[in-house]
Structure 1
């Protein structure tokens, strides 16, 4: 699955990724609270890298048809 992100508004990207992380972690039986806490422990780049660490196998983040946060 691919998710296209509009990088014009970092706040929206962060919130969207936290929501995706909640849904995915619950479906995969992961510790949702710990993952979201880790995602929020840095800046937007950290949030994206952390999301990719946990969910990159299932989700490809794209911006203008290019992979981001790898």
Structure 2
């Protein structure tokens, strides 16, 4: 059964003080979500890894912004 699309089921606050783990965390969330939604996990993760951290965040938002809203402290991270 596929999950129904609902805007921002969850919000994730990313700690900008430790940017080294942001990418790892988002890749893990992407794996969990894409598996649950029946998406091609490997392709999505490859696309996320194909650029810098900003590209990774934009790609994550492209696929998962209907389910997760990324927040940087008190601000929404743009897609």
TM superposition score category, shorter chain reference: over 0.9
1:10 partnered with 2:19: yes
Q: Scaled by the length of structure 1, what TM-score is found?
A: 0.96
**Residue in 2 aligned with 1:28?**
37
Contact kept in structure 2, 1:45 and 1:69, CA below 8 Å: no
Unaligned runs of 5+ in 1: none
Residue 65 of structure 1 and its aligned partner are, at CA, apart by 1.8
The number of residues matched between the two structures is 70
**Residue in 2 aligned with 1:48?**
57
Structure with greater Cα Rg: 2
Deviating runs (4+, > 2 A) in structure 1? none
**Residue in 1 aligned with 2:28?**
19
